[in-house]
Structure 1
Amino acid sequence: MVLHKLQNDGMGLFKQISLQQLWRGAVTTLLAYPLVLLAAVTGTAAGVTLAELSFEQRQRSLYLEKLMLVSSLGLILFFTLELLVRKYKLALQWRLLLQLAGLLLLGLYFYFLPPELEDRHWLRYLMLALALHLAASYAMFLNRREENAFWQFNKTLFLRLLTSALYTGVLFLGLVVAVLAMEELFAVEVDGEFYAQLWLFMVGVFNTWFFLAGVPANVRELEQTHQYPKGLKVFTQFVLLPLVSLYLLILYAYFGKIIVQWAWPEGWVSVLVLCFSIAGILSLLLIHPIRNEEGNTWMRTFARWFYRALFPLIILLMLAIWRRVSEYGVTEGRYIVAALALWLLATALYFLFSRQKNIKFIPVTLSIVAVLAAFGPVNAFRVSEWSQVNRLEALLQENGVLVGGKVQQQHPPVSEEVEQEVSSIADYLARRHGFEALQPWFNGSLQDSIAAATDSLDNRWQRNFAARGKVLDLMGLAYTPGSPRAGETYFYFDSQPPGAGEAVHDIQGYAYALQFHLRNVEGGSERREYTLGGAPLLVSMDEDATTVYFRFEQETLKLDLLPVVQKLARGQQEQVKPADMTFVVQGEQVQLKVAIEELSGYRKDRYYIQSVGASVFVQLPE
């Protein structure tokens, strides 16, 4: 029904307007939201440029990734500022001042972002983006009144978003078919990156421009409007509310099972409770204006009992997250789940006991939670680092590795289970926070030791891996993968265990030496490209999970690692020596000597290499 209405509205729109009107509308939108569209164009240009670059070129153009991130934030920030200008009818100088302040904030954000973005930067970005999107929903309605205008405004934005997505998708598919027809009929050559770039343009520029053209501006008119789309009512009443009710029954049945069995809830139940809560709150917001109308008994009953029914599930959510935190400490993900659980509790209490029950409470408080989780004094990143460092400290003290506040390289033997825990924490710190907090445990400069091991490496994955290994080496411990999940077997090889010196390789007869580290993830692996004597050498694992491919000019050489992987997976690591991990791969144009230095992965239904690092020595034909 909603899509049918959108289609009818779209047909009616094209019947009533001309190309001149479209052009005037586009210009009017540009003048109304100049910096919003500038941010959209800038971010899209950065994305289109990135799509053309190889992996090695991207490593030298990391600022483009930062520019995309900051531009996407700028888009919603300037949109929110323009809404404030409209609401309070600010003079031109105040509008320019707000825009200048926004540019300054974005410039500072761009400046303080590191050249290479890590997981914590993306997570902080997502929380900030959520807060800005929520702020846009209530920026023009900061007083307690105008609740109907608030609902009507966001209803219009919601429908406009659906309309924009529909038009963007249809237009993109139409253009793709047109380009394919040109390729087939007229033998026109089109680069593979063109389609990704076209998609980025359609989503970044066209979709944004089209959406902005339909944003309502007159708050007074909205307050007097009481239109409710019939299609939205049908969707909410007959699709969304029944689904939410079904989730409620499933979660209550699981809650009863936990009580009967007196067992801890599974961690996955947190996702279900959060999804149910979000869908339920969205349903309440969608039916808010008509819930008390005659004939809407089901909606009225749902609105009355939803928050009461939420309390047992909030308890279930808190128990699930408490179990994970008590066993494995706080991480950013667990912090966010706990924060959302507390927010759900506060929201349920507000709508049950407050006389006002203003729906603006939901976006306002959630945006505050997002900002505090990202930048507050006890934000997700600070608390997570503190928790994991304390866990690591307790483990090392219990096993005689940390004595009197200092790490002892010579210490009693440590069990494999403890090494797994320590390795897991070290891996987390390497990926999310670094090791600055561990400096008091070491006499020398920990940062200098890590820098010596990582400065020559190409990217952050390699640097994180090397930093983790160096810290464990200084503790006199070896990296040990964690306990496998059901049906999985981990394998691991490191040519330089603690106490071993740097590897020495015989390079006689070889003209070039290089190093690579590949991470294999779902959907494909990383690639590395090198230039040898003017010819490219491409190293990848794209075609197989246990084979490394070396493509030199027109020839592809294969290094099958399955035999050694099988031996490692059978628990025979001690039988695999560095000499066993050195291979000579002979081709017609090139000869390679490959010394595997690190290899890790797991076996479930098949063997799967997650990461591999090696030194490669190359001999080209004379």
Structure 2
Amino acid sequence: MKIINYLKKIFNNLLLSTKRFPLAALAAFITTFILMIVINNNTLFSDQKIKLLIELALTTSLAFPLFLSSSLIFERFPEIKKHLIYFLIFLFLLIYHLFIFKDFELVSISRFIALNISFYLLVLLIHYFYKRKNYELYIAHIFSKFFVTIVYTVVIFIGLITILFTLDKLFELSLAKELYISSWLLAAGIFAPIFMLAGIPLFKRDFDLNDYSSVLKILILYIIMPLLTIYSLILYLYFIKIIKTQLWLESIVGQLVFWYSMLSFLVIFFIKPFRKENKWVNKFILIMPKIILPLLIMMFFALSIRINDYGLTENRYYVFLLGIWIFLVMLYYNFSQKQRNTIVVFSLAIISILAVFGPWSGFSLATKSQNQRFENILRENELLENNKIVKKPIPTTAKKEINSIIKYFTDKHSLEALNYLPTDFKKTEMEEVFGFKYQRYYSNHNNFYYRIPFKGKIFQLEDYNYLLDFQVEGSEISTSNQLENDLSLDFNLEQFKLELIKAEKVIFKQNLKNDLLQLQQKLQKSSEKDLKDLNQNYIYENEAVKMKIVFKYLSGELKSNSDLQLYRLNSFIFIQLK
């Protein structure tokens, strides 16, 4: 009987939420119905009709938070004109469907996601914006309901597919696989949103600490907060290592700090109600915003190196923008006496919109950055004549960069957005235009970037005749440094071959590949202690020359345990002529 009563209660709550939010529920029904038609009848429709139906489903899914917002506004402001709000919502949805969502490419999908984020954040603000207490308790309540909804939805879905599977096997019905997908759509598209709506409190309801989920409280206070404290210590130890050794792994630092900062913000947000009654919480809220700021600066520095080397992309733009937002929020938490998290959430909703619309959007700035990077590569390698691309032999590293830019515009935008390319250019024409074929280079975790510290370090010149501050970039196949009229030092980046030439005769030759591989492996495992003598072992000698190399900067890609590709090499080279 208890189970039946509980099921009745759930059913009544679903009916009440449908009555309370009729248009939002209708939007969920329509979206699910359209998607089910597409899934179960995809062979009956042309690709164009399927595309139109999916676009319509995305538009109606966007209607869900808008109509939900309107209902919450009417609860808080009963005197407001409903017809005007409904007209504005329908007008926006029409404009969005006809003009904003143009295709299923990066720009349209990103805007769809950003609009959803912004609209759902506004849903969370309506009942508590502006001056109303216990906003965090209200969000914690909705957050708990959200996770309960996920659990219920998964259970219902598993139940439905179990029933279908049993019927299929016992009665040999040969049910179509689309029915299983439809089961998920019914659970996630109809039950989940309506069940979640039932958990949204009425405007007049107030919250206190007794309403806070005990599970959420234990999870944050006694599991996540201690883990974050340990993680903070690890990041600071690495931060200290960077300062002392100047060894820098740019590709991973930004990601670690970014997600750590986002999680820290969420924890500070949710534990604020316990600040007065729990000393541990109060200290955490006071200290954590201060701890995060230097780490965010480190993240910005790491990100700036990546942008300087490879240009701005949408992902780097979003990380940089959200990083600035978190940085400002932490400053707000540090210096504001009356902190209002409603302002913080509202600012994030605004940033979500600004990030994808206008000349300051990620798309506009990333396109400009990659075009500028493309032009720089062309000019550095003398591939431009009268603003037209010409074919010339260029280093492998330059080919790789050009290929990566072509890939970026192909995947993210279109080749028409890339300057200097011939009209209607296609990837199959790469060899005809550039002199080499298009090749996709997949990113991996084998890239390395190491700076080795020498500040304040004194080198013994001993009997060396020359000291050369030597540098070679990835855009150069080889470089030559003139020491005297008849003496020069040459290095080939692709072959790792170092030669000292006197009077047009090679008097010294050395292949650095094996030593550079060993150095990369040492740097990967190095500590400050290891660095003391790290560069003192690279001494080469023959009957005519003695040479010592002290590496300062090393970057490249580890192809395998026995092969690597250099992007940049910087070193001191000491030369003694016998």
Question: Highest CA radius of gyration, 1 or 2?
Answer: 2
State the number of aligned residues.
Answer: 449
Q: Partner of 1:375: helix, strand, or coil?
A: coil
Structure 2 residues not aligned, in runs of 5+:
448-558, 562-578
Q: Alignment partner of 1:308: what SS?
A: helix
1:147 and 1:360 in contact (8 A); partners too: no
SS of the counterpart of 2:339? coil
Instruction: Return the letter of the residue paired with 1:398.
Output: E
Aligned equivalent of 1:250, options 210, 234, 244: 234
The percent identity for this pair of structures is: 27
Give the counterpart of 2:83 among 96, 115, 122: 96
Q: Secondary structure at the match of 1:428?
A: helix
Which residue identity lines up with residue 242 of structure 1 in the other structure? P
Kindly state the Cα deviation for residue 332 of structure 1 after the two structures are TM-superposed. Answer: 0.1
Query: CA distance change for structure 1 residues 18 and 207 in 2, over 3 Å: closer, same or farther?
Result: closer
Partner SS state of residue 426, structure 1: helix
| Native 8 Å contact 1:36 1:74 kept in 2 | yes
Which one of 343, 350, 375 corresponds to residue 368 of structure 1? 350
**What's the secondary structure of 1:29's corresponding residue?**
helix
Structure 2 equivalent of residue 351 of structure 1: 333
CA RMSD of the aligned region, Å? 2.9
Looking at structure 2, the residues matched to 474 and 56 of structure 1 have their Cα atoms a distance apart, in angstroms, of 43
SS at match of 2:57: helix
Structure 1: state its 5+ residue gaps: 1-10, 451-466, 489-602, 606-622
Q: Deviations over 1:120-174 (max 9, x none)?
A: 322222222222221111122222x2131x2232122112112211221222222
TM-score when normalising by structure 2: 0.71
Q: Partner of 1:288: helix, strand, or coil? A: helix
- Shift of the 117–484 alpha-carbon distance from structure 1 to 2, 3 Å rule, reads closer
- Superposed CA offset, 1:360-393 (max 9, x none): 2321121122111111430100000000001111
Mapped to 2, the partners of 1:325 and 1:125 lie a distance apart of 26
Confirm whether residue 39 of structure 1 aligns to residue 27 of structure 2.
yes
Q: CA contact under 8 A between 1:420 and 1:483: conserved in structure 2?
A: no
Moved more, 193-202 or 270-279: 270-279
2:359 is aligned to 377
1:407 aligns with 2:366: no
2:152 aligned counterpart, secondary structure: helix
Partner deviation per Cα, 1:553-590 (whole Å, 9 max, x = no partner): xxxxxxxxxxxxxxxxxxxxxxxxxxxxxxxxxxxxxx
Question: Runs of at least 4 residues of structure 1 off by over 6 A?
Answer: none
Q: Distance in 1 between matches of 2:560 and 2:428?
A: 26
Work out whether residues 37 and 75 of structure 1, in 8 Å CA contact, stay in contact via their aligned partners in 2: yes
Question: Could you say which residue in structure 1 is the equivalent of 2:323?
Answer: 341
Distance 1:55 1:258 in 2: 58
**SS of residue in 2 equivalent to 1:218:** coil
Range 44-53 or range 159-168, more displaced: 44-53
CA distance in 2, matches of 1:114, 1:287: 39
Q: Deviations over 1:320-354 (max 9, x none)?
A: 21111010000000001111111111011111111
Alpha-carbon distance change, 26 to 291 in structure 1, aligned in 2, over 3 angstroms:
same
Aligned 8 A contact 1:424 1:481 in 2: yes
Residue 147 of structure 1 corresponds to: 133
- Report the alpha carbon displacement of residue 115 of structure 1 after superposing the two structures with TM: 5.7
CA separation of 1:473 and 1:96: change in aligned 2, threshold 3 A:
farther
AA aligned opposite 1:207: A
The yes-or-no answer on 1:317 pairing with 2:317 is: no
CA distance in 2, matches of 1:225, 1:302: 19
The residue number in structure 2 matching 1:267 is 251
Does residue 50 (structure 1) correspond to residue 38 (structure 2)? The answer is yes
Amino acid at match of 1:479: Y
Q: Contact conserved, 1:373 with 1:380, CA < 8 A, in 2?
A: yes
Instruction: State the SS of the aligned residue for 1:147.
Output: coil
State the one-letter code of the partner of 1:153. Y
1:162 aligns with 2:147: yes
CA shift in 2, pair 1:335/1:102, >3 Å:
same
Preserved contact between residue 141 and residue 213 of structure 2 (Cα < 8 Å) = no
Instruction: Pick one of 118, 122, 125 that aligns with 1:138.
Output: 125
Letter in 1 for 2:273: P
Distance 1:472 1:50 in 2: 41
**8 Å contact kept, 1:67–1:110:** yes
Aligned to 1:180: 165
Q: Which string of whole-angstrom CA distances, capped at 9 and with x for unpartnered residues, describes residues 384-440 of structure 1?
A: 000000111111122232234x2144x43333322221121122112222244446x
What's the CA shift for 1:56? 10
Partner residue, 1:28:
16
TM-score for the superposition, normalised by structure 1: 0.67
Aligned partner of 1:238 in structure 2 is 222
TM-superposition CA deviations, 1:453-511 (whole Å, max 9, x none): xxxxxxxxxxxxxx3344774455532444874779xxxxxxxxxxxxxxxxxxxxxxx
Read off the aligned partner of 2:438 and give its amino acid letter: Y
Letter in 1 for 2:86: Q
CA 1:250/1:59 → structure 2, altered by over 3 Å: closer, same or farther?
farther
1:110 aligned onto 2:130: no
Between the aligned partners of 2:213 and 2:439, the Cα distance in structure 1 is: 58
Tell me the SS of whatever aligns to 1:251: helix
Asked if 2 retains the 8 angstrom alpha-carbon contact of 1:421 and 1:482, the reply is no
- Any conservation in 2 of the 1:152–1:222 contact (CA below 8 Å)? no
Mapping for residues 578-617 of structure 1, pairs under 5 Å: none
